[in-house]
Amino acid sequence: MELIVGNIAFSTWSLRPWLVLKRCGADFTTTEVPLYGPDSARLLAQHSPTGKVPVLKVEGETIWDSMAISVWASEMFPDAALWPSDRHARWLARSVACEMHSSFMALRTECGMGPDAGGVIHTMVGPDRAPTPTSEAVAADVRRLVEIIRTMRGRFGAAGPYLFGEWSMPDAFLTPVATRFRHYQFDLSAFGDDGTAASYVAELLRQPDFLEWTELAATKQP
């Protein structure tokens, strides 16, 4: 089984299924395709029907899209408990993962990872960037994320430090956000946080699998 990813330092979409597969204990290799280079389009076309990563190559199939790969993993590794066992928590965990997958465009665009228009490369693994003024659209995204974290941690977080207590799929989908908050040095208290979101973000950034990804990034050129 082979997971094709973009630059480990900044490909936020790639990080999610990588965390999910690690959580499952899946036996997989990771192949990095450098993005935004002169040869990137050709290399991506060799691996991916959409020209985008991540994709998972397994049993002769190519599964594209981070959500599809994650859903595949939850089907193939039921013992990994990728979704919460409580059914109410599970329904809402899916809502959070899907919202994360389909929304927050302002945050993604204005607080991007990878090379910016000026050629500066923003990465999930530092160095951090001095805080910059945020647009109202970004502020609305951050407020919504803080609200999600406070609500889910408040309702379901008693059994552990993650969004639904024990680690579950939404944590994989929110880890790239945690790296954006760190890189762009967001003060979450200015967006409605009472400390819950900041603690949760810190937890995501110290989860062992993310630290392994960070170590992997250190061995590569961004």
Ligand X SMILES: N[C@@H](CCC(=O)N[C@@H](CS)C(=O)NCC(=O)O)C(=O)O
Q: State the nearest-atom distance from the C-beta of 201 to ligand X, in Å.
A: 20
Distance CA 199, CA 183 (A): 16
- Pick 85 or 221: Cβ nearer ligand X: 221
| Phi-psi label, residue 113: left if phi above 0, alpha if psi -120 to 50, beta otherwise | beta
- Pick 35 or 204: Cβ nearer ligand X: 35
- Pick 35 or 188: Cβ nearer ligand X: 35
Q: State the nearest-atom distance from the C-beta of 170 to ligand X, in Å.
A: 15
- Pick 52 or 143: Cβ nearer ligand X: 52
Burial call 35-46: b when 16+ CB within 10 Å, e when fewer = beeeebeebbee
Q: State the nearest-atom distance from the C-beta of 173 to ligand X, in Å.
A: 10
Distance CA 170, CA 178 (A): 12
In which residue are the tokens 């597969």 written?
21
Examine residue 127 and say whether the peptide bond preceding it is cis (omega within 30 degrees of 0). Answer: yes
Q: State the nearest-atom distance from the C-beta of 39 to ligand X, in Å.
A: 12
CA angle 131, 210, 7 (to 5 degrees): 75
- Pick 67 or 145: Cβ nearer ligand X: 67
Which residue type occupies 208? P
Q: State the nearest-atom distance from the C-beta of 219 to ligand X, in Å.
A: 19
- Chain residues that interact with ligand X, rule: CB under 6 A: 6, 11-14, 35, 51-54, 65-67
Distance CA 150, CA 147 (A): 5
